Structure 1
Amino acid sequence: MADIPAAGTVPEMRRDEELTTADGRPLRVALRRSQRQLRRRAFYLVAPLLVFLLVTFGWPIANMIAGSVYNPEVAHFLPLTSSAISDWDGEDVPGEDVFAAMAMDMESGLANRTIGRAAGRINREIPGARSLVMGTARDLEDMQPPYREAFLAEDERWGDLEFWRLIKRETRIVTPAYYLLALDFEYNSRGEIVERPEIYQVYRQLFWRTAWMSLTITALCVLLGYPVAHLLATLPLKTSNVLMILVLLPFWTSLLVRTSAWIVLLQQQGVINDLLVWANIIDASGRIRMIYNQTGTIIAMTHILLPFMILPLYSVMKTIPPSYMRAARSLGATQFTAFTKVYMPLTIPGVAAGVLLVFILAIGYYITPALVGGESGIFISNLIAQNMQGTSAQLKLASALATILLVGVLFFYWLFNKLIGVDRLKFG
Structure 2
Amino acid sequence: MTDATQHPMDGPTPDDALRQAKAADSVDDQGRLLAADGTPLKRSLARSLRVQKIRALALIAPLLLFVLVTFIAPIADMLFRSVENEIVPETLPRTVQLIGDWDHNSGEAPDAELFEAFYYDMAIAAQLKNHTRLGTRLNYEQTGISSLFRQSGRDIEDIGDIYVDQFEDLDEAWEEPATWLALMGDADWRDSYMEWFEGEQAGAPPAFQPSAAASEALPRTVEMYTLFSEFTAGARRDSLAEDEPWPVAYTALYQDLTAQPSATAPFEGEMATLVGVAEDAVADFETVDFRSYFIDEIDEDWGNPEVWATIQTFSGPFTAGYFLNAVDMQETPDGVAMQPDDQRIYGLLFKRTMFMSLTITFCCIALGYPVAYLLATLPMRSANLLMILVLLPFWTSLLVRTSAWKVMLQQQGVINDVLVWLGLVGDGSRLVMINNQFGTIVAMTHILLPFMILPMYSVMSTIPPSYVRAAKSLGATNWTAFWRVYFPQSVPGIGAGSILVFILAIGYYITPEIVGGTTGTFISNRIAYHISSSLNWGLAAALGTILLGVVLILYWAYDRIVGIDNVKLGG
Same fold (TM over 0.5): yes
- Residue 168 of structure 1 aligns with which residue? 312
Does structure 1 residue 177 correspond to structure 2 residue 321? yes
Does structure 1 residue 337 correspond to structure 2 residue 480? yes
Measure how far apart 1:226 and its partner are.
0.7
C-alpha distance 311-4 of structure 1, shift in aligned 2 (>3 A): farther
| TM-score (ref. length: structure 2) | 0.68
Q: What pairs with 1:218-237 in structure 2 (closer than 5 Å)?
A: 218-237=361-380
Match of 1:65 among 79, 84, 95: 79
Asked whether the 8 Å contact 2:159–2:288 carries over to 1, the reply is no
Equivalent-residue separation in structure 1 for 2:351 and 2:10 (angstroms): 80
Structure 1 unaligned runs (5+)? none
Measure how far apart 1:27 and its partner are.
3.6
Aligned length: 423
Does structure 1 residue 424 correspond to structure 2 residue 569? no
- Residue 53 of structure 1 aligns with which residue? 67
- Cα RMSD of the aligned pairs, angstroms, is 2.7
- Residue 209 of structure 1 aligns with which residue? 352
SS at match of 1:186: strand
Bigger CA drift: 66-75 or 318-327? 66-75
- Residue 286 of structure 1 aligns with which residue? 429
C-alpha distance 151-271 of structure 1, shift in aligned 2 (>3 A): closer
C-alpha distance 5-174 of structure 1, shift in aligned 2 (>3 A): farther
Asked whether the 8 Å contact 1:119–1:134 carries over to 2, the reply is no
Measure how far apart 1:231 and its partner are.
0.7
Asked whether the 8 Å contact 1:75–1:173 carries over to 2, the reply is yes
Measure how far apart 1:160 and its partner are.
3.1
Measure how far apart 1:268 and its partner are.
1.2
Bigger CA drift: 171-180 or 213-222? 171-180
Asked whether the 8 Å contact 1:5–1:11 carries over to 2, the reply is no
SS at match of 2:330: strand
SS at match of 1:69: coil
Equivalent-residue separation in structure 1 for 2:126 and 2:465 (angstroms): 81
- Residue 86 of structure 1 aligns with which residue? 100
Measure how far apart 1:9 and its partner are.
8.3
C-alpha distance 27-293 of structure 1, shift in aligned 2 (>3 A): same
Equivalent-residue separation in structure 1 for 2:565 and 2:313 (angstroms): 47
Deviations 1:71-99 (A, max 9, x none): 23322221211122234343434344322
Asked whether the 8 Å contact 1:99–1:147 carries over to 2, the reply is yes
Bigger CA drift: 207-216 or 233-242? 233-242
Asked whether the 8 Å contact 1:144–1:150 carries over to 2, the reply is no
Equivalent-residue separation in structure 2 for 1:286 and 1:150 (angstroms): 64
Identity %: 50
Match of 2:537 among 383, 395, 411: 395
- Residue 313 of structure 1 aligns with which residue? 456
Measure how far apart 1:197 and its partner are.
0.9
Q: Which amino acid aligns with 1:217?
A: I
Q: Which amino acid aligns with 2:562?
A: I
Does structure 1 residue 251 correspond to structure 2 residue 270? no
Bigger CA drift: 240-249 or 111-120? 111-120
Does structure 1 residue 130 correspond to structure 2 residue 149? yes
Measure how far apart 1:391 and its partner are.
4.4
Larger Rg: 2
Q: Which amino acid aligns with 1:49?
A: L
Equivalent-residue separation in structure 1 for 2:424 and 2:123 (angstroms): 74
- Residue 415 of structure 1 aligns with which residue? 557
Structure 2 unaligned runs (5+)? 1-5, 19-29, 163-285
Measure how far apart 1:151 and its partner are.
4.8
Match of 1:276 among 405, 408, 419: 419
| TM-score (ref. length: structure 1) | 0.90
C-alpha distance 35-89 of structure 1, shift in aligned 2 (>3 A): farther
Equivalent-residue separation in structure 1 for 2:135 and 2:453 (angstroms): 55
SS at match of 1:239: helix
Equivalent-residue separation in structure 2 for 1:63 and 1:235 (angstroms): 49
C-alpha distance 347-152 of structure 1, shift in aligned 2 (>3 A): same
Equivalent-residue separation in structure 1 for 2:56 and 2:39 (angstroms): 25
Measure how far apart 1:50 and its partner are.
0.7
SS at match of 1:269: coil
Measure how far apart 1:157 and its partner are.
4.4
Measure how far apart 1:422 and its partner are.
2.9
